[in-house]
């Protein structure tokens, strides 16, 4: 999908274009920040900053990715300064259950075994793909979603995640394992084998 | 060492290899399991695809 830079957009056009992205921005910020008002402020600041810098945006990525990236940068910064960040409580009973996907002998249950993904490689630059991807991620239980986004959206190493959230590496690996299993299944159902994406 | 038939353990290693370097023993265990297990080969490919996608996206975030 070609990126549409929106450089000549009016403020209204810009807002209209970004409007569908807003729930994902809010969900992302709320996951990491202590107060809802801070999350809303962070998103607002991100959108103002994007609007002001719009002339500099050259369309090397999609507008949505670029705006999402501005918020990501802001959140990384807040983690660095330990500012406004939510405390984290590790609770294994609140992790998504994936044990039931395996049989007693630890083989996959047939209905949970991975299916073949049709034409997966062409889909990755598509904004619609990332919409579905983010919805899958933000629908994970909160602490799972939080650790996963730190790892895969922000690009933190697990050691940094452990330090920021005060959890052990073992806990971190457990959470990421469950997150990836769930995400794989969610994307399989809603993207890779979804009827409308079949060629 | 885990039973060679454990797909659950295989998925743990597939996930952890994105976050840390597996030991030699773990790597050999995983490779052997993948040779034997069609479902886990598929899962492994899909995990790798998602990892690559996220990496590409992080690069996209840095562009303007």
Domains of chain A by residue range: 1-86, 90-194
Mean pLDDT across the stretch A132-154? 97
**Phi, psi (degrees; rounded to nearest 5) at A102:** -115, 150
H helices then E strands: how many in chain A?
Answer: 8, 0
Dist CA A138 CA A142 (whole Å): 8
pLDDT at A94 over 50: yes
Q: Could you tell me what percent of chain A has a pLDDT over 70? A: 91
Dist CA A183 CA A136 (whole Å): 6
Nearest-5° Cα angle at A51, A48 to A56? 130
CA–CA distance from A179 to each of A114, A152, A175, A183, A187 (Å)? Answer: 15, 11, 6, 6, 12
Q: In this complex, how many residue pairs, one in chain A and one in chain B, have their CB atoms less than 8 Å apart?
A: 101
Quickly state the pLDDT bin for A4 (edges 50, 70, 90): low
pLDDT of B62 = 85
Picking from A7, A185, A57, the residue whose alpha carbon sits closest to that of residue B62 is: A57
pLDDT at A194 over 90: no
Provide the greatest CA pair distance for chain B.
49
pLDDT of B4 = 85
Residue A33, Ramachandran bin (φ over 0: left; ψ between -120 and 50: alpha; else beta)? beta
**Hey, what CATH topology would domain A90-194 get?**
Arc Repressor Mutant, subunit A (1.10.10)
Mean pLDDT across the stretch A66-74? 96
pLDDT digits (tens, 9 = 90+) for A8-41: 889 999 999 999 999 999 999 999 999 999 999 9
pLDDT of B2 = 77
Please tell me what DSSP assigns to residue B17. T
| B59 and A61 Cβ atoms separated by less than 8 Å | no
pLDDT of A199 = 46
Q: Which of B8, B18, B61 sits opposite A69 (nearest CB)?
A: B61
Quickly state the pLDDT bin for B40 (edges 50, 70, 90): very high
Cβ contacts of A70 within 8 Å, gap of 6 or more: A46, A49, A50
Which of A52, A67, A69, A76 is the best mutation test for B, with the most CBs of B within 10 A?
A: A69
CB B12 to CB A108 under 8 A? no
Task: Name the residue of chain B whose CA is nearest to A107's CA.
Answer: B7
pLDDT of A60 = 83
Helix-helix angle B7-16:A169-187, to 10 degrees = 110
Quickly state the pLDDT bin for A6 (edges 50, 70, 90): confident
Show contacts of B1-4: CB within 8 Å, 24+ apart: B1/B25, B1/B29, B2/B29, B3/A106, B4/B29, B4/B32, B4/B33, B4/B36
Question: Is A199 or A9 the better-scoring residue by pLDDT?
Answer: A9
pLDDT of A119 = 60
Dist CA A9 CA A3 (whole Å): 14
What would the two tokens of residue A31 be? 């996951």
What would the two tokens of residue A73 be? 């940068």
* ipTM confidence score: 0.96
H helices then E strands: how many in chain B?
Answer: 3, 0
Q: Which of A106, A121, A151 sits opposite B7 (nearest CB)?
A: A106
Dist CA A166 CA A196 (whole Å): 43
Residue-averaged pLDDT of chain B = 94
pLDDT of A2 = 45
Beta-strand runs (E) in chain A: none
Quickly state the pLDDT bin for A67 (edges 50, 70, 90): very high
Task: Name the residue of chain B whose CA is nearest to A55's CA.
Answer: B64
Q: A1-86 sits in which CATH class?
A: mainly alpha
Quickly state the pLDDT bin for B63 (edges 50, 70, 90): confident
Distance from CA of B50 to the nearest CA of A (A): 8
pLDDT of B1 = 67
């Amino acid at each position: 999908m070609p990126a549409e830079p929106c450089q000549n957009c009016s403020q209204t056009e810009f807002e209209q274009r970004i409007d569908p992205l807003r729930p994902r921005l809010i969900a992302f910020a709320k996951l990491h920040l202590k107060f809802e008002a801070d999350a809303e402020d962070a998103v607002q600041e991100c959108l103002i900053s994007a609007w002001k810098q719009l002339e500099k945006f050259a369309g090397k990525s999609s507008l949505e990715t670029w705006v999402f990236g501005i918020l990501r940068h802001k959140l990384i910064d807040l983690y660095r300064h330990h500012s406004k960040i939510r405390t984290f409580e590790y609770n294994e009973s609140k992790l998504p259950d994936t044990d039931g996907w395996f049989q007693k002998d630890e083989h996959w249950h047939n209905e949970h075994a991975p299916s073949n993904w049709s034409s997966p490689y062409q889909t990755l630059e598509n904004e619609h793909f990332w919409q579905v991807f983010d919805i899958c991620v933000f629908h994970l239980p909160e602490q799972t979603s939080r650790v996963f986004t730190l790892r895969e959206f922000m690009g933190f190493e697990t050691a940094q995640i452990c330090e920021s959230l005060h959890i052990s590496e073992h806990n971190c690996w457990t959470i990421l394992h469950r997150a990836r299993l769930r995400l794989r299944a969610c994307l399989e159902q809603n993207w890779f084998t979804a009827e409308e994406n079949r060629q | 060492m885990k039973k060679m038939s454990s797909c659950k353990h295989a998925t743990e290693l597939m996930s952890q290899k994105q976050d840390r370097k597996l030991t030699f023993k773990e790597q050999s265990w995983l490779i052997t399991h993948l040779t034997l297990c069609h479902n886990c080969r598929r899962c492994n490919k899909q995990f790798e695809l998602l990892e690559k996608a996220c990496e590409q996206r992080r690069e996209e975030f840095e562009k303007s």
